[in-house]
Amino acid sequence: MNFSKLKKQVILKGGQILDPLTKTIVKRDLLIEDEKIKAIGKVKTTKSAQIIDCKNLIITHGFCDIHVHFREPGREDKETLETGSMAALAGGFTRVCVMPNTDPPIDSPEVIRYIIDRSEECPIYIHPIGAITKGQDGGELTEMGAMLAEGAVAFSDDGLPVTDSSMMRNALDYATMFDIPIINHAEDLCLKKDGVMHEGIISTNLGLPSSPDITESNMVHRDLSLTELTGGRLHVPHVSSAKSLEHIRSSKKSNKKVTAEVTPHHLFFTDNDLQNFDTNLKVAPPIRTKSDKKALIKGVKDGTLDCIATDHAPHTIEEKEGTFDLAPFGMIGLESCFGAVNKVLVKENNFKLLSLIEMLTTKPRKIMGFNNNLLEIGTSAELTILDPKEEWIFSKQDIQSKSKNSPFVGKNMYGRVKFTINKGHISSK
C-alpha cells in the first residue's frame, strides 16, 4: 500500500462528490490545500498541485468504524494501533473506535489517556471505548466520568456480555448522566455453553457444539427493556439473528435511544459456509442461517440497523491454524468491508449506494457524536475515494493488518476503495 504525505495543493479531479450529510451526489472537483478542504467546484490549478484522477470515482466522507479490536496494549503480536490504522486506511476508514478488551483492559482514565496519546501518532483517528466494569469482570462500574474527560466515547465490556442484569441496569442508568451509549455484547453464556457455531441443521451435520439464536436475542430483549426502564442509550453490536432484529425493530418504534450495528460477515456468509471447518468463520456471535441473513439485509434496508461495523478482530496465524475447537473467535474485516457490503447490499439487493455510505459515515458518527460536516470548506480533509463498480477478488496482498485471519480471501468483491485521505496523508493500493 502506498502511504504518503499530501502535497500543499491536491486536486481531486473529475469525480462525483457524494455527501451523505446533505444526501447529494454532484460532479465537482475538490481542492485540498494545506490539508484542509479549500474549494469544491471550480478549482484553480497550479503547476505544483498533485492531481488525483477521480474519473468514474466517488469522493465521500472517510468511513468510520465504531467497533474494532486493535489489541494494544497487551497483544501487539496480533495488531498495534499503527498496523490497525493501516488496515483501516486500506478499507477507506479514517476514524475508528477501539474496544477495551485489551491486556490490561481499557478500564481506567489512565489507559484511556494512553490510547489517546498513542493515537496522535497514528494516521487515523482512534477513539477509545471504555470498559463498563473494572477488569471487564462484571463486578464494579468503571470511572466513566473521568474516562470520558480523557476522551472515551462510549462504554462496553465487548468480548464479554454484562451477564448480571442489575449491573447492566446500573451501567445504563449511570451513563444517562453523560448521554453516551452503552454497548453490550449480547450472549447468554449459560445457553451458549461451549457452542462454537449457530445451532441448526449445519451444526448437526458437523457434530460441532452450537448455540441457538435466542442465546443472543434473549439478552438483546433484556437490554432493550433495561434501556426503557432507565432512559439510557443502548447500542446493540454485531446483530446476527432475525429474532434480535424483531426485538430491536419493535423497541425503536417508541425508543429513539436505541441503535444497532451489523458486520459485513453476517451479511455475506451463512452457516452453510462452515462446512469445511474454516476457523476464520468462527465468530461470536456466530454466523447464522440464510433466513437470518435475509432478515439482516431487510433490517439494513428498513433502517432497523443503523450502521455497519466490522468487529475487526485480529488473531495470530498460530492461534487460527489449529483445530476448530481451539481457535479463538473473530476475523479481521477492515480491508474487505466495503467490497463485501457493497456487493451484498447494493449489487445483489437493490440498496442505494448513498444509503450504504450513510451507514459507513454519518450514521456511526452520529451515534458517537462525531462531526459529520466533513465537506465544509476549511475542514481538515478526511475523505474516501472509491470505485463503486470495480469487480475484484480479495487477496492476501490486500490485507494490511498484522494478522491474516480473513475468510474473504478469494472471494469476489464489488466496489473498491482507491484512496483514503486523512490527517494530511493519502493512502492508496
CB of 327 to other proteins, least distance (A): 8
CB of 197 to other proteins, least distance (A): 10
Query: Which has the closest alpha carbon to 192: 167, 205, 209, 168?
Result: 209
Fill in the per-residue mask, 258 to 297: x = in contact with other proteins (CB under 8 A), - = not in contact: ------------------xx--------------------
User: Which DSSP symbol is given to 375?
Assistant: T
Question: Is-contact 93 420, C-beta < 8 A?
Answer: yes
CA angle 228, 255, 310 (to 5 degrees): 100
Under rule CB under 8 A, residue 321 binds other proteins? yes
Under rule CB under 8 A, residue 359 binds other proteins? no
Catalytic residue among 306, 311, 325, 387: 311
Under rule CB under 8 A, residue 326 binds other proteins? yes
CB under 8 A: which stretch of 53-61, 88-96, 296-304, 321-329 binds other proteins? 321-329
Residue placing its CB nearer to other proteins in the complex, 152 or 327: 327
Rg, Å, the chain Cα set: 21
Under rule CB under 8 A, residue 327 binds other proteins? yes
Residue placing its CB nearer to other proteins in the complex, 37 or 327: 327
SS3 41: strand
Query: Which has the closest alpha carbon to 262: 236, 295, 238, 235?
Result: 238
CB under 8 A: which stretch of 71-79, 256-264, 325-333, 407-415 binds other proteins? 325-333
CB under 8 Å to 419, separation ≥6 — which residues? 52, 383, 384, 385, 426, 427, 428
Question: Is-contact 428 416, C-beta < 8 A?
Answer: no
* 311 flagged as catalytic: yes
Under rule CB under 8 A, residue 214 binds other proteins? no
Fill in the per-residue mask, 168 to 197: x = in contact with other proteins (CB under 8 A), - = not in contact: ------------------------------
The one-letter amino acid at 94: T
Cell of 235: 447500542
Helices and strands counted in the chain (H then E): 15, 21
Under rule CB under 8 A, residue 324 binds other proteins? yes
Task: Give catalytic residues, as residue numbers.
Answer: 311
Residues of this chain that bind other proteins (CB under 8 A) = 199-201, 203-209, 212, 276-277, 318-319, 321-327
